[in-house]
Amino acid sequence: MLKFIRFFLPPMLAGLCIALVIIWFSPNLKNALLPKLDVTGHYSSSHMSFADAVEKASPAVVTIFSESISSVPRYMRANTTQELGSGVLMSHDGYILTNYHVVNDADQIMVILTDGRRFDDVQVIGFDTITDLALLKIDAQHLPVIPIDNNFTPRVGDVVLAIGNPLNLGQTITQGVISATGKQTLTDSPYNNLLQMDAAVNVGNSGGALVNSNGVLVGITSAQFRTRYNIDIQGISFAVPYKLAKEVMQKLIQDGRVVRGYLGFRGAAVDSTGKEVTDLYTRIVGLRVSDLDPLGPAWQAGMQENDIIVKVAGEPVTNPQKTLKFIGNTRPGTRLEFQVYRGDELRTFTLVVAELETRAN
């Protein structure tokens, strides 16, 4: 025992002294390991909280009530349909993003701010059925605005908070993580890439804010994709990413509608052998043309089913979503050059971009 103490105790004491010196002169370690005083003056352990994020973001999330009145047939008493939703203040002068289905066919729209102010004279600037977004405007100044970071890119695993007014219970916060990005399967549209998350979203949350742990806007939540199948879904909800919502908002402000380019085909990603790509790690070399619209520009220019597009406007096709987004963002009337393989033959087509027609639901 004495031999053990003689040989091992001095190195152990020396190591302990070195560790204490490192902790004392390292602020991060010191703050993490030493106990802290709470507001009462007592020592307490640290805890995780999103209160600061909520405090920054929640004043910019509003409640929206819309009302549609049906007067047909005339001899019957008018039928009234009310819709509850949320919205996000995007500017100090009253621009509000929400879901289109919240204000669809509304005869009267009312906006209530978190401070209790009520606005009955609400203007619908425009809407986009593909992304299920609508832009409203209220006549006010110096309003609270949702925190925004244009450089932020959401990633799978990010902690997110959904802020809205579910079931008219008052402003409510739910928490979860982003489960997936770039989801298109629910919308059947290449122009809408949704965020999937597990934060609880219920009726009334539609159009509310999805923010990160710093209170920065990540997306606009939507309960539509939860309820459209009329089944009880747990742990799966969706939001329109902020960057896409911003693009839609800017187009609605500029044109009152979202103008998208249209060429009249769908495309499946393929690799260098022409095999369809089903995972994210295989190198993409082209898009196989399918579902040609006989009245669309691609058909009229001579493209055929199973042609493989390898270049658009001189740029190689390496990402199908990027290519389809480029086409969608091209103004109608623009001429685009396509390089296409038909079998082993490389062909060039020049297409005049048309406008994608959308209809209100």
Active-site residue numbers? 101, 132, 206
- In the 8-state DSSP scheme, what is residue 82? E
Three-point CA angle 213, 215, 221, nearest 5°? 95
Q: How far is CA 164 from CA 20, 136, 172, 289, in A?
A: 48, 17, 6, 41
The answer to whether 173 and 161 have CB atoms below 8 angstroms apart is: yes
CA distance 332 to 296: 12
CA 90 from centre of chain: 15
Beta strands in 213-297 (DSSP E): 217-222, 237-241, 261-262, 266-270, 286-290
> Which runs of consecutive H residues, i.e. helices, occur in 264-312?
297-301
Helix (H) or strand (E) holding 197: strand 194-197
Locate 274 and state its tokens: 């022409």
Closest CA to 226 of 97, 63, 101: 101
Q: What are phi and psi of 174, to 5 degrees?
A: -125, 150
